[in-house]
């Protein structure tokens, strides 16, 4: 698979353009076109109680978006990347997924939420919904600049080159296989991949040592196989085995290894399943200060 | 308007209303359990008028402000009456508010929510070609469905296929206007499920099938309007000289998806019917007595809505462009409407002893009820207007009598007055965009789809007055003179 077309969804929040620019690293991996997308939420312009539809407001928002996008297009054009503008009115998440499918993009890049003191998460409800809904196309949650806690201090972190050193967390599932394949398409943009597997508490709990050693050995072998696949594709790769709570271990390792992004496979659990079973990939997307790429 | 200015306005209003209400309460305290309707001053109706005028004027003159702050405006008017009223009449006022919330607002919103949710799970797919015959048939189907799935439900089900079928046509505006006339309003006149005013009547003791008394009125109105529509559509169809569009890609066959939602709709009809037919005793919630069957009905409606949500795939609702926003808006606005209308209803029920005696004396004949309810329904939402004139009639014929006794008497002895109120509220709701909630939803969807819609006054001058008002004059001569 070649990564040639990316859909960049924006709400024109601060640093959106910087987030877009950070995607230009993908040019080395074969990126040719970016679809600049803005969805005007229907509620912003429609269903005015007893009033109907604010056509003028829609026009204003469209024009505003067009002018911004055209400015961005110039920068993209200078960098040698083609672009197309899509401005539509509707329900943001389903609309984005529909556009992405229609445009046959290889990757959707979406939002960044300012973390608040109350809810220490970096992903808004729309982005989380996008992760659940995009069952065929990988989604990258770009977090260009975030504030995070490091050694008891609140520090600003800028993720300028997210693709440089991805941490690839695998659970050996089919989506993980897909993620592995997707990473190989990033060749050129990636310096080194850290392949990580965590023997989760649920698995290791209550096991005797022999069984644990067997799992450890098997995991190491599988990690080596993954690394071999990446190396075969021309990417530098290093295996890491960890044990403990999966999400926190992955986040800990991403900090230790100076990763620039976390890549995972995702099974696309719906809200109900996620509520009862929980989704490691979504939890990491919410809690990590790094851009997170989820491959279905 | 800044928050500071809003607060100042609120304070001024409280200062205006409060002393009068307080004085009135002093006057009434000596009587022990006073009849509030007899002592309330006329200006206690100001918040109700303000609420309805806000709905009428803000969307016209400050749509953006209104769109973002309608909830606060509704809360402002509700507080403007609730605070002084509670201070002045304490327990009695609290009872009146709780009563209108539990006995009217809650079941009203639950029914609307259930119908909106279930109807939003039905999707009509397919490539239709909007010829005069096809369009007229679609209008007939929508009109027939409206009484059983609510005007909002029927309008939401039919408007997108209707617009899609006619997207190749040049003159589309009149089509959507007639759609609003028929599907979003007049079609809903046959059952309490059809249009909110009729459901409020049902909640106040009007039997479920009584509304079939409006059938002749409805048939005349629908007949006249459909003939006019067909003539207009045929004229424009020929004038446009367009032929069927070349099909883009594969022609999609006509198909109704989410058909099981009709079962849930049947459940809604059954639940509402049941609540009108059985008596399982009463229970008191926060001092408000309601029939057990009414609570059961509300519970069943919620259950049916939830079942529809579970059974209907999310994708289907998305393809239907389903959104919660309109129903949320209605919920926010109607809590304001219901709370502010409390004094007004009490005064009207007091009949000649209340401050609105002049209104009761003016509105005497059935034709007065038809036109007065109607004209006000055109500019104010038709649900509260129905209740206002319903109370006027009760106050006029049976002043001071409890509603449970007065309503059967009104039906038995003065049926034609209730017909005038019901037909007026439902039919005239079509006269403006603000007459009935689905009107603005249809307008919004049509404009989003690229169909130009007339302005507020354009709608009235070009369409309502020539077509609707003339139809209502005919109806007046046939049924109310």
Contact list in B for residue A43 (CB cut-off 8 A) is 323, 325
Per the model's pLDDT, the better-predicted residue between B188 and B10 turns out to be B188
Q: Distance between CA atoms of B202 and B210, rounded to whole angstroms? A: 9
Least confident window among A113-127, B40-54, B115-129:
A113-127
Residue with tokens 């109370």: B391
Pairs of CB atoms within 8 A across A/B: 75
> Phi and psi (nearest 5°) for B104?
-115, -60
Is the pLDDT score of B27 beyond 50? no
Of A153-162, A184-193, B124-133, highest mean pLDDT: A184-193
DSSP letter for each residue of B171-207: --HHHHHHHHHHTTTGGGGSSTTTSHHHHHHHHTT--
| pLDDT tier at B376, thresholds 50, 70, 90 | confident
Return the ∠ at Cα B238 (arms to B237 and B239), rounded to 5°.
95
Helix, strand, or coil (residue A265): strand
Structure tokens at B123: 């999707």
- Per-residue pLDDT, averaged over B363-368, amounts to 90
Contact list in A for residue B448 (CB cut-off 8 A) is 42, 45-46, 53, 58, 89
Q: Distance between CA atoms of B419 and B397, rounded to whole angstroms? A: 15
Question: Is A47 an 8 Å CB contact of chain B?
Answer: yes
Q: Which of A52, A97, A132 to mutate to test the interface with B (most CBs of B within 10 A)?
A: A52
Report yes or no: A247 and A284 within 8 Å, Cβ to Cβ. Answer: yes
What does the pLDDT look like over A261-272, one tens digit per residue? 999 998 765 655
Is the pLDDT score of A69 beyond 80? yes
Q: Which of A44, A50, A61 to mutate to test the interface with B (most CBs of B within 10 A)?
A: A50
C-beta atoms of A48 and B444 within 8 A = yes
Is the pLDDT score of B221 beyond 60? yes
> Phi and psi (nearest 5°) for B129?
-110, 120
Is the pLDDT score of B243 beyond 90? no
Is the pLDDT score of B285 beyond 90? no
Q: How far is A179 from chain B (nearest CA, A)?
A: 26
C-beta atoms of A49 and B59 within 8 A = yes
pLDDT for the residue numbered B191: 93
Q: Residue A239: beta bridge partners?
A: A195
Please give the helix or strand (H or E) that residue A83 lies within, else none. Answer: strand A82-90
Considering CB atoms only, which of A47, A52, A54 is closest to B329? A47
Please give the helix or strand (H or E) that residue A131 lies within, else none. Answer: helix A125-133
C-beta atoms of A50 and B56 within 8 A = yes
- Per-residue pLDDT, averaged over A231-236, amounts to 93
pLDDT for the residue numbered A229: 94
Q: What is the CA radius of gyration of chain A?
A: 20
pLDDT for the residue numbered A120: 60
Report yes or no: B199 and B193 within 8 Å, Cβ to Cβ. Answer: yes
C-beta atoms of A94 and B325 within 8 A = no
Is the pLDDT score of B220 beyond 80? yes
B328 Cβ neighbours under 8 A, 6+ residues apart: none
C-beta atoms of B444 and A49 within 8 A = no
pLDDT for the residue numbered B13: 47
C-beta atoms of A47 and B63 within 8 A = no
Question: Is B71 an 8 Å CB contact of chain A?
Answer: no
Q: Which of 3.40.50.10490, 3.40.50.620, 3.30.210.10, 1.10.357.10 is the CATH number of A162-296? A: 3.40.50.620
Per the model's pLDDT, the better-predicted residue between B347 and B304 turns out to be B304
| pLDDT tier at B31, thresholds 50, 70, 90 | very low
What does the pLDDT look like over B401-447, one tens digit per residue? 888 899 999 999 989 999 999 999 999 999 988 788 888 889 888 98
Question: Is B127 an 8 Å CB contact of chain A?
Answer: no
Contact list in A for residue B440 (CB cut-off 8 A) is 47-52
Report how far Cα A235 is from the mean position of its chain's Cα atoms. 20
Helix, strand, or coil (residue B24): helix
Is the pLDDT score of A62 beyond 50? yes
Q: Distance between CA atoms of A196 and A261, rounded to whole angstroms? A: 13
Per the model's pLDDT, the better-predicted residue between B255 and B350 turns out to be B255
What does the pLDDT look like over A132-178, one tens digit per residue? 888 889 999 988 777 777 777 777 777 888 999 999 999 999 999 99
**Termini Cα distance of chain B:** 48
Question: Is A43 an 8 Å CB contact of chain B?
Answer: yes
Question: Is B325 an 8 Å CB contact of chain A?
Answer: yes
pLDDT for the residue numbered A37: 97
C-beta atoms of A90 and B56 within 8 A = no
Which spans in A79-116 are helix H? 92-103
Report how far Cα B311 is from the mean position of its chain's Cα atoms. 28
Report yes or no: B218 and B186 within 8 Å, Cβ to Cβ. Answer: yes
C-beta atoms of B444 and A50 within 8 A = no
Q: How far is B119 from chain A (nearest CA, A)?
A: 18
Considering CB atoms only, which of A52, A90, A94 is closest to B453? A52
C-beta atoms of B447 and A53 within 8 A = yes
Structure tokens at A270: 């719906």
Contact list in A for residue B434 (CB cut-off 8 A) is 50
The B residues from 421 to 450 touching A (CB cutoff 8 Å) are 433-434, 437, 439-441, 443-448
Structure tokens at B332: 């926010």
Residue with tokens 């579970």: B310
- Per-residue pLDDT, averaged over B165-175, amounts to 91
What does the pLDDT look like over B378-395, one tens digit per residue? 876 788 789 888 988 888
| pLDDT tier at A127, thresholds 50, 70, 90 | confident
pLDDT for the residue numbered A286: 84
Is the pLDDT score of B30 beyond 50? no
Is the pLDDT score of B15 beyond 80? no
pLDDT for the residue numbered A112: 65
User: What percent of chain A has a predicted confidence (pLDDT) above 90?
Assistant: 56
Report how far Cα B133 is from the mean position of its chain's Cα atoms. 30
C-beta atoms of A50 and B453 within 8 A = no
Q: How far is B173 from chain A (nearest CA, A)?
A: 14
What is the pTM for the complete model shown?
Answer: 0.80
Least confident window among B135-149, B235-249, B277-291, B310-324:
B235-249
| pLDDT tier at B236, thresholds 50, 70, 90 | very high
Question: Is A222 an 8 Å CB contact of chain B?
Answer: no
Is the pLDDT score of B318 beyond 90? no
Longest dimension (CA), chain B: 80
Q: How far is A224 from chain B (nearest CA, A)?
A: 41
DSSP letter for each residue of B350-388: TGGGSTTHHHHHH--SHHHHHHHHHHHHHHS-HHHHHHH
Is the pLDDT score of B12 beyond 60? no
pLDDT for the residue numbered B32: 45
Contact list in A for residue B59 (CB cut-off 8 A) is 48-52
Other Cβ atoms closer than 10 A to B91: 9
């Amino acid at each position: 698979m070649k990564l040639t077309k990316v859909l960049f969804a924006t709400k024109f929040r601060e640093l959106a353009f910087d987030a877009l620019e950070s995607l230009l690293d993908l040019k080395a991996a074969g990126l040719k076109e970016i679809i600049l997308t803005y969805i005007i939420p229907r509620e912003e312009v429609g269903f005015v109680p007893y009033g109907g539809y604010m056509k003028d407001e829609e026009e204003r928002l469209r024009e505003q978006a067009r002018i911004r996008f055209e400015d961005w297009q110039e920068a993209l054009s200078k960098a040698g990347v083609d672009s197309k503008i899509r401005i539509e009115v509707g329900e943001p998440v389903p609309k984005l997924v529909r556009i992405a499918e229609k445009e046959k993009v290889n990757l959707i890049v979406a939002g960044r939420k300012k973390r608040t003191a109350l809810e220490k998460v970096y992903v808004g409800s729309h982005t989380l919904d996008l992760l659940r809904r995009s069952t065929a196309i990988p989604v990258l949650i770009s977090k260009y600049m975030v504030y995070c806690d490091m050694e008891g201090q609140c520090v600003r972190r800028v993720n300028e080159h997210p693709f440089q050193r991805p941490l690839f967390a695998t659970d050996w599932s089919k989506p993980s296989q897909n993620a592995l394949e997707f990473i190989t398409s990033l060749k050129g943009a990636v310096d080194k991949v850290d392949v990580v597997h965590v023997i989760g508490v649920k698995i290791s709990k209550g096991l005797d040592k022999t069984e644990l050693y067997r799992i450890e050995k098997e995991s190491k072998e599988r990690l080596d196989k993954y690394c071999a696949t990446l190396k075969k594709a021309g990417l530098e790769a290093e295996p890491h085995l960890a044990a403990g709570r999966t999400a926190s271990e992955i986040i800990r390792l991403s900090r230790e290894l100076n990763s620039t992004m976390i890549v995972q496979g995702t099974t696309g659990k719906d809200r109900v399943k996620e509520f009862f079973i929980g989704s490691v990939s979504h939890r990491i997307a919410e809690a990590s200060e790094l851009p997170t790429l989820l491959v279905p | 308007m800044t928050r500071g200015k809003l607060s100042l306005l609120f304070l001024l209003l409280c200062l205006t209303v409060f002393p009068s209400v307080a004085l009135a309460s002093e006057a009434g305290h000596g009587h022990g359990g006073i009849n509030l309707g007899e002592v309330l001053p006329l200006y206690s109706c100001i918040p109700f008028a303000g609420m309805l005028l806000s709905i009428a004027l803000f969307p016209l003159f400050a749509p953006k402000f209104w769109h973002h702050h309608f909830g606060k405006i509704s809360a402002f008017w509700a507080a403007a009456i609730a605070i002084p009223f509670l201070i002045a009449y304490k327990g009695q006022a609290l009872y009146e508010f709780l009563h209108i919330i539990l006995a009217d607002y809650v079941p009203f919103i639950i029914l609307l929510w259930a119908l909106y949710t279930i109807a939003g799970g039905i999707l009509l797919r397919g490539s239709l070609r909007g010829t005069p015959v096809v369009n007229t048939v679609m209008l007939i189907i929508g009109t027939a469905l409206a009484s059983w799935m609510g005007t909002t439900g029927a309008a939401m089900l039919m408007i997108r296929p209707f617009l899609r079928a006619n997207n190749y046509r040049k003159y589309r505006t009149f089509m959507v206007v007639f759609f609003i006339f028929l599907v979003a309003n007049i079609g809903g006149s046959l059952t309490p499920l059809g249009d909110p005013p009729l459901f409020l009547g049902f909640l106040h003791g009007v039997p479920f099938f009584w509304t079939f008394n409006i059938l002749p009125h409805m048939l005349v109105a629908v007949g006249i309007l459909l003939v006019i529509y067909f003539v207009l559509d045929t004229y424009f169809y020929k004038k446009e000289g367009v032929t069927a569009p070349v099909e883009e890609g594969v022609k999609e066959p006509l198909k109704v998806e989410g058909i099981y939602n009709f079962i849930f709709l049947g459940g809604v009809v059954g639940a509402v019917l049941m609540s009108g037919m059985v008596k399982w005793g009463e229970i008191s919630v926060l001092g408000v007595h309601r029939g057990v069957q009414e609570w059961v009905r509300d519970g069943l409606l919620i259950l049916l809505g939830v079942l529809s949500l579970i059974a209907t795939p999310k994708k289907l609702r998305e393809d239907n462009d389903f959104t919660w926003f309109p129903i949320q808006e209605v919920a926010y606005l109607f809590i304001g409407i219901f709370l502010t209308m409390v004094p007004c209803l009490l005064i009207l029920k007091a009949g000649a002893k209340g401050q609105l005696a002049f209104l009761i004396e003016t509105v005497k004949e059935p034709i007065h009820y038809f036109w007065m309810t109607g004209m006000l329904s055109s500019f104010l939402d038709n649900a509260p207007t129905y209740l206002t004139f319903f109370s006027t009639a009760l106050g006029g014929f049976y002043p001071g009598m409890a509603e449970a006794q007065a309503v059967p008497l009104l039906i038995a002895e003065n049926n034609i007055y209730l017909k005038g109120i019901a037909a007026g509220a439902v039919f005239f709701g079509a006269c403006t965009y603000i007459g009935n909630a689905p009107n603005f939803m249809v307008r919004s969807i049509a404009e989003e789809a690229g169909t130009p819609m007339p302005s507020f006054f354009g709608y009235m001058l070009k369409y309502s007055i020539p077509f609707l008002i003339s139809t209502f004059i005919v109806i007046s001569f046939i049924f109310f003179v």
